């Protein structure tokens, strides 16, 4: 059973693209905080909702382990870790509760500018650089395409220029990074944005009511923003 608590704990990204918009959304929903000296923990003042500031990659695991009740994280990260767990035969411990409308981007194939895009013909035997091996692996598997996945934690778009890969599968927003590396975006693997993630099972204690109140407030804010 998850740890019992009488306050809700939300994980958000400590420093990165999602940090400011996540804090702004929570503030617009009426939350206010007292920051700890190391800025790792924000103690909720207006509501019994505390924030834990962490690396975005840690957020799904913190929910799975019951350390945090909710989290704001890119759908790309959440689904990648869900597929990873599924491939190890583990049950699904978290789910997407809401799309939050910020941090929009797409996981896409980027190919050399001179190529046509005929995945079934072109991809077999090729090396594809990505930070999302589970998402890419499932896409390839569903099409019966046998290609080599080259795992890179950053600077994925450099891989073709360095000869480490033939093409990439990476996050794209403006497309500027791809074109700066003489690559063109051709196909969307996943449409992503920041999401509110929570456990698969609902809360059995006072956190249920707090979470419900928070969701109502977030929905109100997002409706006005639309
Ligand atoms: O330190 P920590 O691990 O927490 O941060 P991080 O470096 O892993 O994450 P961060 O802050 O870079 O991104 C957090 C989330 O923002 C991602 O998981 C996505 O859900 C979302 N997001 C939105 C993006 C982008 N847009 C984006 N453009 N994440 C990364 N990019 C990168 C992309 O990887 C590529 O290098 O930006 C480049 C492409 O941008 P364009 O505009 O040139 O196309
Ligand atoms: Zn990260």
Stretch 7-20: mean pLDDT: 98
Q: Is the distance from the beta carbon of residue 73 to the nearest atom of ligand 1 less than 6 Å?
A: no
The neighbour count for residue 99, using CB atoms within 10 Å, is 16
CA-to-CA distance for 129 and 34, rounded, in angstroms?
42
pLDDT of residue 172: 98
What is the CATH number for 115?
3.40.190.10
Which structural domain range is residue 166 located in?
105-190
pLDDT of residue 1: 47
ipTM over 0.90: yes
Q: 3 pLDDT band (50/70/90 cuts)?
A: low
91 shares a domain with 14 = yes
Ligand 1 atom 26: the closest Cα is on which residue?
105
13: pLDDT strictly greater than 90: yes
109 shares a domain with 98 = no
DSSP conformation class of 157:
G
119 shares a domain with 146 = yes
Percent of the chain with pLDDT over 90: 95
Interval 153-167: pLDDT, tens: 999 999 999 999 999
81 shares a domain with 147 = no
Q: Is the distance from the beta carbon of residue 153 to the nearest atom of ligand 1 less than 6 Å?
A: no
Interval 38-76: pLDDT, tens: 999 999 999 999 999 999 999 999 999 999 999 999 999
DSSP conformation class of 193:
-
Radius of gyration, alpha carbons of the chain? 19
Average pLDDT, the chain: 96
Q: 226 pLDDT band (50/70/90 cuts)?
A: confident
Q: Determine, yes or no, domain membership for 2.
A: no
- Tally of structural domains, the chain: 2
Q: Is the distance from the beta carbon of residue 23 to the nearest atom of ligand 1 less than 6 Å?
A: no
Interval 19-37: pLDDT, tens: 999 999 999 999 999 999 9
Q: Determine, yes or no, domain membership for 1.
A: no
72 shares a domain with 52 = yes
CA-to-CA distance for 12 and 59, rounded, in angstroms?
7
Q: Residue 59 C-alpha to ligand 2 middle, in angstroms?
A: 10
Percent of the chain with pLDDT over 70: 99
Q: Determine, yes or no, domain membership for 72.
A: yes
Q: Is the distance from the beta carbon of residue 18 to the nearest atom of ligand 1 less than 6 Å?
A: yes
pLDDT of residue 135: 98
Interval 166-184: pLDDT, tens: 999 999 999 999 999 999 9
Kindly report the pTM of this predicted structure.
0.97
Ligand number with the minimum distance to the CA of 78: 1
Strand partners, 42: 35, 51
30 shares a domain with 78 = yes
Q: Are strands 127-130 and 167-172 parallel, antiparallel or unpaired?
A: parallel
DSSP conformation class of 111:
E
Ligand 1 atom 2: the closest Cα is on which residue?
55
Q: Is the distance from the beta carbon of residue 79 to the nearest atom of ligand 1 less than 6 Å?
A: no
Ligand 1 atom 17: the closest Cα is on which residue?
74
Q: Residue 56 C-alpha to ligand 2 middle, in angstroms?
A: 5
Q: Determine, yes or no, domain membership for 204.
A: yes
Interval 75-107: pLDDT, tens: 999 999 999 999 999 999 999 999 999 999 999
**Backbone phi, then psi, for 151, in 5-degree steps?**
-80, 125
Contacts (Cβ under 8 Å, ≥6 apart) of 224:
none
Q: Determine, yes or no, domain membership for 175.
A: yes
């Amino acid at each position: 059973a998850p740890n019992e608590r009488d306050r809700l704990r939300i994980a958000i990204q400590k420093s990165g693209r999602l940090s400011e918009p996540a804090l702004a959304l929570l503030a617009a929903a009426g939350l206010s905080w007292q920051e700890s000296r190391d800025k790792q923990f924000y103690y909720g003042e207006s509501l019994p909702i505390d924030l834990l500031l962490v690396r975005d990659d840690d957020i799904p695991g913190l929910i799975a382990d019951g350390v945090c009740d909710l989290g704001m994280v890119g759908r790309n990260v959440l689904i990648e870790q869900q597929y990873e767990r599924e491939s190890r035969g583990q049950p699904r411990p978290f789910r997407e509760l809401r799309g939050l409308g910020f941090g929009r981007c797409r996981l896409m194939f980027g190919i050399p500018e001179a190529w046509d895009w005929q995945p079934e013909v072109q991809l077999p035997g090729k090396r594809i650089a990505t930070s999302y091996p589970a998402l890419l692996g499932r896409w390839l598997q569903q099409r019966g395409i046998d290609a080599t996945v080259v795992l890179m934690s950053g600077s994925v778009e450099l891989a073709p220029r360095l000869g480490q890969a033939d093409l990439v599968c990476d996050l794209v927003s403006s497309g500027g990074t791809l074109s700066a590396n003489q690559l063109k975006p051709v196909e969307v693997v996943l449409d992503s944005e920041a999401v509110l993630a929570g456990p698969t099972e609902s809360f059995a204690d006072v956190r249920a009511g707090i979470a419900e109140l928070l969701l109502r407030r977030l929905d109100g804010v997002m409706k006005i923003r639309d």
